[in-house]
Amino acid sequence: MQSYAQDTIYTYSDSEWNECAKEDYFYYGKTFKTDNNLWGQLDYFKNGQLQMIGAHETAEQKVKQGLFIYFDENGDTTGIYNYVDNVKEGKYVTFFDNGNRDIETTLADGLQEGLTNYYHENGKLSSTGDFSKGSRIGEWKYYDKSGEYISNEHFIQEYTAPCGYQLKLPARWIHSSKDEYGKTVQGISIDRIFRKGVRDNDSNEQFYALDAICFDERNLTPESVCKNMAKMEGAKMKKVKSYKKLKFQVDEFYAYTKKGDNGETLQVLLFAEAKGKDIAQLKFTFDRAVDPEALSEMVEIVNSLSMDY
Protein backbone atom coordinates (compact mmCIF):
# COMPACT_ATOMS: atom_id res chain seq x y z
CA MET A 1 0.00 0.00 0.00
CA GLN A 2 1.20 3.52 -0.82
CA SER A 3 0.25 6.94 0.53
CA TYR A 4 1.45 10.34 -0.65
CA ALA A 5 2.47 13.70 0.74
CA GLN A 6 4.12 16.49 -1.24
CA ASP A 7 7.26 14.93 -2.86
CA THR A 8 7.06 12.04 -0.38
CA ILE A 9 5.73 8.49 -0.81
CA TYR A 10 4.99 6.13 2.06
CA THR A 11 4.90 2.35 1.47
CA TYR A 12 3.92 -0.64 3.59
CA SER A 13 5.20 -4.18 2.92
CA ASP A 14 4.93 -7.61 4.49
CA SER A 15 7.94 -9.71 5.56
CA GLU A 16 8.49 -10.77 1.91
CA TRP A 17 8.48 -7.14 0.71
CA ASN A 18 5.09 -7.48 -0.93
CA GLU A 19 2.85 -4.41 -0.66
CA CYS A 20 0.18 -4.79 2.00
CA ALA A 21 -2.35 -2.86 4.04
CA LYS A 22 -0.97 -0.39 6.58
CA GLU A 23 -2.24 -2.41 9.53
CA ASP A 24 -0.47 -5.60 8.28
CA TYR A 25 2.98 -4.18 7.51
CA PHE A 26 6.36 -5.60 8.55
CA TYR A 27 8.45 -2.97 6.71
CA TYR A 28 7.58 0.71 6.41
CA GLY A 29 9.21 2.85 3.69
CA LYS A 30 9.58 6.55 3.03
CA THR A 31 10.62 7.82 -0.44
CA PHE A 32 11.33 11.53 -0.84
CA LYS A 33 12.82 14.01 -3.29
CA THR A 34 16.39 15.09 -2.44
CA ASP A 35 18.32 18.27 -3.21
CA ASN A 36 20.38 16.54 -5.94
CA ASN A 37 17.34 15.36 -7.93
CA LEU A 38 17.45 11.82 -6.59
CA TRP A 39 14.79 10.04 -4.57
CA GLY A 40 15.98 9.12 -1.10
CA GLN A 41 14.75 5.92 0.47
CA LEU A 42 14.39 5.08 4.17
CA ASP A 43 13.04 1.65 5.09
CA TYR A 44 12.13 0.71 8.65
CA PHE A 45 11.28 -2.43 10.58
CA LYS A 46 7.96 -2.54 12.40
CA ASN A 47 9.80 -1.82 15.67
CA GLY A 48 10.92 1.53 14.23
CA GLN A 49 14.53 0.50 13.62
CA LEU A 50 16.02 1.74 10.33
CA GLN A 51 16.47 -1.17 7.88
CA MET A 52 18.02 0.64 4.89
CA ILE A 53 19.11 4.08 3.72
CA GLY A 54 19.85 4.86 0.09
CA ALA A 55 18.72 6.71 -3.02
CA HIS A 56 17.24 5.95 -6.46
CA GLU A 57 17.10 7.81 -9.73
CA THR A 58 13.30 7.94 -9.70
CA ALA A 59 10.46 7.44 -7.27
CA GLU A 60 9.81 4.00 -8.83
CA GLN A 61 13.07 2.82 -7.17
CA LYS A 62 14.33 1.06 -10.31
CA VAL A 63 17.93 2.39 -10.45
CA LYS A 64 20.06 2.64 -7.31
CA GLN A 65 22.57 5.47 -7.04
CA GLY A 66 25.20 6.11 -4.39
CA LEU A 67 25.72 4.65 -0.94
CA PHE A 68 23.30 2.09 0.54
CA ILE A 69 23.57 1.00 4.18
CA TYR A 70 21.58 -1.91 5.62
CA PHE A 71 20.76 -2.73 9.25
CA ASP A 72 19.18 -5.56 11.22
CA GLU A 73 16.34 -5.18 13.72
CA ASN A 74 18.83 -4.45 16.51
CA GLY A 75 20.40 -1.56 14.62
CA ASP A 76 23.62 -3.40 13.71
CA THR A 77 24.99 -2.73 10.22
CA THR A 78 24.67 -5.73 7.88
CA GLY A 79 25.97 -4.24 4.63
CA ILE A 80 27.49 -1.15 3.02
CA TYR A 81 27.37 -0.93 -0.78
CA ASN A 82 27.87 1.79 -3.35
CA TYR A 83 25.91 1.85 -6.63
CA VAL A 84 26.47 3.56 -9.97
CA ASP A 85 23.49 3.18 -12.32
CA ASN A 86 22.24 0.15 -10.35
CA VAL A 87 25.63 -1.64 -10.50
CA LYS A 88 27.61 -2.19 -7.30
CA GLU A 89 30.73 -0.04 -7.60
CA GLY A 90 33.36 0.98 -5.06
CA LYS A 91 33.21 0.15 -1.37
CA TYR A 92 31.51 -3.14 -0.42
CA VAL A 93 31.29 -4.31 3.19
CA THR A 94 29.09 -6.98 4.80
CA PHE A 95 28.70 -7.83 8.49
CA PHE A 96 27.89 -10.84 10.65
CA ASP A 97 24.81 -10.80 12.90
CA ASN A 98 27.04 -9.89 15.85
CA GLY A 99 28.15 -6.69 14.11
CA ASN A 100 31.67 -7.84 13.18
CA ARG A 101 32.80 -7.43 9.58
CA ASP A 102 32.38 -10.40 7.26
CA ILE A 103 33.71 -9.20 3.86
CA GLU A 104 35.56 -6.00 3.03
CA THR A 105 36.31 -5.37 -0.65
CA THR A 106 35.92 -3.00 -3.60
CA LEU A 107 33.76 -3.55 -6.68
CA ALA A 108 34.32 -2.38 -10.25
CA ASP A 109 31.57 -3.03 -12.79
CA GLY A 110 29.96 -5.29 -10.20
CA LEU A 111 33.10 -7.48 -9.82
CA GLN A 112 35.57 -7.67 -6.93
CA GLU A 113 38.74 -5.67 -7.55
CA GLY A 114 41.86 -5.06 -5.48
CA LEU A 115 42.61 -5.91 -1.85
CA THR A 116 39.92 -8.01 -0.15
CA ASN A 117 39.66 -9.18 3.46
CA TYR A 118 37.46 -11.99 4.77
CA TYR A 119 36.88 -12.31 8.53
CA HIS A 120 35.89 -14.96 11.04
CA GLU A 121 32.71 -14.24 12.99
CA ASN A 122 34.82 -13.37 16.06
CA GLY A 123 36.37 -10.46 14.14
CA LYS A 124 39.73 -12.11 13.40
CA LEU A 125 41.04 -12.02 9.83
CA SER A 126 40.25 -15.24 7.91
CA SER A 127 41.95 -14.56 4.55
CA THR A 128 43.39 -11.67 2.57
CA GLY A 129 44.51 -11.12 -1.00
CA ASP A 130 43.74 -9.36 -4.27
CA PHE A 131 41.07 -9.70 -6.94
CA SER A 132 41.19 -8.71 -10.59
CA LYS A 133 37.91 -8.59 -12.54
CA GLY A 134 36.25 -10.92 -10.04
CA SER A 135 39.06 -13.52 -9.89
CA ARG A 136 41.67 -14.03 -7.18
CA ILE A 137 45.21 -13.18 -8.19
CA GLY A 138 48.64 -13.40 -6.61
CA GLU A 139 49.27 -14.51 -3.05
CA TRP A 140 46.42 -15.23 -0.63
CA LYS A 141 47.06 -15.76 3.08
CA TYR A 142 44.82 -17.75 5.44
CA TYR A 143 44.40 -17.51 9.22
CA ASP A 144 42.62 -19.54 11.89
CA LYS A 145 39.99 -18.19 14.33
CA SER A 146 42.68 -17.11 16.78
CA GLY A 147 44.37 -15.00 14.10
CA GLU A 148 47.32 -17.37 13.65
CA TYR A 149 48.70 -17.76 10.13
CA ILE A 150 47.83 -21.15 8.55
CA SER A 151 48.98 -21.19 4.93
CA ASN A 152 49.08 -19.35 1.62
CA GLU A 153 48.11 -20.00 -1.98
CA HIS A 154 49.26 -18.39 -5.21
CA PHE A 155 46.75 -17.74 -7.97
CA ILE A 156 48.78 -17.57 -11.15
CA GLN A 157 47.70 -16.48 -14.62
CA GLU A 158 50.89 -17.43 -16.45
CA TYR A 159 53.27 -20.28 -15.71
CA THR A 160 56.83 -20.50 -17.02
CA ALA A 161 58.67 -23.80 -16.53
CA PRO A 162 62.40 -23.86 -15.75
CA CYS A 163 63.15 -25.04 -19.28
CA GLY A 164 61.17 -22.13 -20.71
CA TYR A 165 57.77 -23.39 -21.88
CA GLN A 166 54.76 -21.29 -20.91
CA LEU A 167 51.13 -21.86 -19.99
CA LYS A 168 48.20 -19.51 -19.47
CA LEU A 169 46.01 -20.48 -16.53
CA PRO A 170 42.36 -19.49 -16.04
CA ALA A 171 41.13 -18.05 -12.76
CA ARG A 172 40.93 -20.41 -9.75
CA TRP A 173 44.04 -22.41 -10.68
CA ILE A 174 46.54 -22.00 -7.86
CA HIS A 175 50.15 -22.89 -7.10
CA SER A 176 50.15 -24.56 -3.69
CA SER A 177 53.52 -23.23 -2.56
CA LYS A 178 55.56 -20.40 -3.98
CA ASP A 179 58.63 -21.76 -2.16
CA GLU A 180 58.53 -24.92 -4.29
CA TYR A 181 57.91 -23.14 -7.59
CA GLY A 182 60.34 -24.12 -10.36
CA LYS A 183 62.37 -26.68 -8.39
CA THR A 184 64.55 -28.84 -10.68
CA VAL A 185 66.08 -32.20 -9.72
CA GLN A 186 68.30 -34.18 -12.12
CA GLY A 187 67.01 -32.37 -15.18
CA ILE A 188 63.33 -32.77 -14.24
CA SER A 189 61.06 -30.12 -12.71
CA ILE A 190 57.57 -30.80 -11.38
CA ASP A 191 55.13 -28.12 -10.26
CA ARG A 192 51.70 -29.02 -8.91
CA ILE A 193 48.86 -26.63 -9.62
CA PHE A 194 45.30 -27.05 -8.31
CA ARG A 195 41.88 -25.81 -9.32
CA LYS A 196 39.78 -24.31 -6.52
CA GLY A 197 36.08 -24.24 -5.85
CA VAL A 198 34.55 -27.04 -7.97
CA ARG A 199 31.87 -28.93 -6.05
CA ASP A 200 29.62 -31.87 -6.87
CA ASN A 201 25.88 -32.13 -6.20
CA ASP A 202 26.58 -33.09 -2.56
CA SER A 203 28.72 -29.93 -2.05
CA ASN A 204 31.93 -31.95 -1.87
CA GLU A 205 34.92 -30.19 -3.41
CA GLN A 206 36.08 -32.04 -6.49
CA PHE A 207 39.75 -32.77 -7.12
CA TYR A 208 41.55 -31.25 -10.11
CA ALA A 209 45.34 -31.12 -10.22
CA LEU A 210 47.83 -30.25 -12.93
CA ASP A 211 51.42 -31.50 -12.80
CA ALA A 212 53.48 -29.32 -15.14
CA ILE A 213 56.60 -31.39 -15.81
CA CYS A 214 59.71 -30.35 -17.71
CA PHE A 215 62.39 -32.73 -19.02
CA ASP A 216 65.65 -31.64 -20.62
CA GLU A 217 67.27 -34.97 -21.50
CA ARG A 218 68.10 -35.84 -25.12
CA ASN A 219 67.31 -39.56 -24.86
CA LEU A 220 63.63 -38.96 -24.06
CA THR A 221 60.66 -38.50 -26.39
CA PRO A 222 57.12 -37.25 -25.70
CA GLU A 223 55.85 -40.84 -26.02
CA SER A 224 58.49 -42.31 -23.71
CA VAL A 225 57.88 -39.79 -20.90
CA CYS A 226 54.15 -40.53 -21.02
CA LYS A 227 54.74 -44.29 -20.96
CA ASN A 228 57.14 -43.91 -18.02
CA MET A 229 54.57 -41.87 -16.09
CA ALA A 230 51.83 -44.47 -16.58
CA LYS A 231 54.23 -47.28 -15.68
CA MET A 232 55.21 -45.55 -12.41
CA GLU A 233 51.51 -45.41 -11.46
CA GLY A 234 50.89 -49.04 -12.47
CA ALA A 235 48.41 -48.04 -15.15
CA LYS A 236 47.86 -49.06 -18.74
CA MET A 237 47.54 -45.93 -20.84
CA LYS A 238 45.81 -45.52 -24.17
CA LYS A 239 46.70 -43.04 -26.91
CA VAL A 240 43.65 -40.95 -27.78
CA LYS A 241 42.76 -38.11 -30.12
CA SER A 242 40.12 -36.48 -27.94
CA TYR A 243 38.37 -36.75 -24.57
CA LYS A 244 34.61 -36.24 -24.29
CA LYS A 245 34.72 -34.68 -27.79
CA LEU A 246 37.15 -31.97 -26.69
CA LYS A 247 40.02 -31.19 -29.02
CA PHE A 248 43.52 -30.73 -27.63
CA GLN A 249 46.25 -29.28 -29.83
CA VAL A 250 49.33 -31.22 -28.75
CA ASP A 251 51.73 -33.84 -30.19
CA GLU A 252 51.02 -36.73 -27.79
CA PHE A 253 47.81 -37.33 -25.81
CA TYR A 254 47.13 -40.32 -23.54
CA ALA A 255 44.49 -41.30 -21.00
CA TYR A 256 44.24 -43.81 -18.14
CA THR A 257 42.57 -44.26 -14.77
CA LYS A 258 44.11 -44.91 -11.36
CA LYS A 259 43.07 -45.33 -7.72
CA GLY A 260 43.29 -42.32 -5.43
CA ASP A 261 44.46 -42.30 -1.82
CA ASN A 262 40.92 -43.05 -0.60
CA GLY A 263 40.29 -45.80 -3.16
CA GLU A 264 38.35 -43.54 -5.52
CA THR A 265 38.81 -43.80 -9.27
CA LEU A 266 40.67 -40.86 -10.78
CA GLN A 267 41.00 -39.96 -14.44
CA VAL A 268 44.43 -39.02 -15.77
CA LEU A 269 45.09 -37.16 -19.04
CA LEU A 270 48.70 -36.93 -20.22
CA PHE A 271 49.94 -34.48 -22.83
CA ALA A 272 53.50 -34.07 -24.11
CA GLU A 273 55.27 -31.89 -26.63
CA ALA A 274 58.96 -31.48 -27.54
CA LYS A 275 61.26 -28.76 -28.72
CA GLY A 276 64.89 -29.72 -29.21
CA LYS A 277 65.96 -31.65 -26.10
CA ASP A 278 63.21 -30.11 -23.96
CA ILE A 279 59.94 -31.92 -23.37
CA ALA A 280 56.87 -30.39 -21.78
CA GLN A 281 54.45 -32.82 -20.13
CA LEU A 282 51.08 -31.83 -18.68
CA LYS A 283 49.38 -34.33 -16.42
CA PHE A 284 45.81 -33.66 -15.32
CA THR A 285 44.36 -35.79 -12.51
CA PHE A 286 40.72 -35.32 -11.58
CA ASP A 287 37.51 -36.90 -10.31
CA ARG A 288 35.63 -38.80 -12.97
CA ALA A 289 32.47 -36.84 -12.16
CA VAL A 290 33.73 -34.15 -14.49
CA ASP A 291 32.67 -30.53 -14.19
CA PRO A 292 32.17 -29.23 -17.77
CA GLU A 293 33.68 -25.85 -16.94
CA ALA A 294 36.84 -27.47 -15.54
CA LEU A 295 37.15 -29.64 -18.65
CA SER A 296 36.88 -26.57 -20.84
CA GLU A 297 39.63 -24.93 -18.79
CA MET A 298 41.89 -27.97 -19.29
CA VAL A 299 41.55 -27.53 -23.05
CA GLU A 300 42.35 -23.85 -22.63
CA ILE A 301 45.50 -24.64 -20.64
CA VAL A 302 46.78 -27.35 -22.98
CA ASN A 303 46.17 -25.28 -26.08
CA SER A 304 47.99 -22.32 -24.52
CA LEU A 305 51.22 -24.35 -24.28
CA SER A 306 54.00 -22.36 -25.89
CA MET A 307 57.55 -23.60 -26.47
CA ASP A 308 58.66 -20.55 -28.46
CA TYR A 309 61.85 -19.71 -26.62
Query: Is 180 among the domain residues?
Result: yes
Predicted TM-score (pTM) of the model is 0.62
Q: What angle do CA 135, 136, 138 make, to 5 degrees?
A: 135
Query: Is 13 among the domain residues?
Result: yes
Whether the Cβ atoms of residue 253 and residue 270 lie closer than 8 Å to each other:
yes
Query: Is 309 among the domain residues?
Result: no
Same domain, 45 and 84: yes
Per-residue pLDDT tens, the chain, 309 aa: give them. 555 455 788 999 999 999 999 889 999 999 988 888 899 999 999 999 999 999 999 988 889 999 999 999 988 888 999 999 998 889 899 998 888 999 999 999 888 999 999 999 999 999 999 998 888 888 889 999 999 999 888 887 788 877 778 888 887 787 665 555 555 555 567 777 878 765 555 555 567 888 888 877 667 888 888 888 888 888 888 888 778 888 788 777 899 888 877 788 888 999 888 888 888 889 998 886 667 888 888 889 989 988 876
Report in angstroms the alpha-carbon separations of 186 from 189, 273, 279. Answer: 8, 20, 14
Same domain, 144 and 238: no
How many structural domains is the chain composed of? 2
Residue type, 31: T
Same domain, 76 and 107: yes
Rounded distance, CA 256 to CA 269, Å? 7
Same domain, 111 and 170: no
- Domain residue limits at 287: 158-303
Same domain, 146 and 8: yes
Whether the Cβ atoms of residue 283 and residue 229 lie closer than 8 Å to each other:
yes
Rounded distance, CA 52 to CA 61, Å? 13
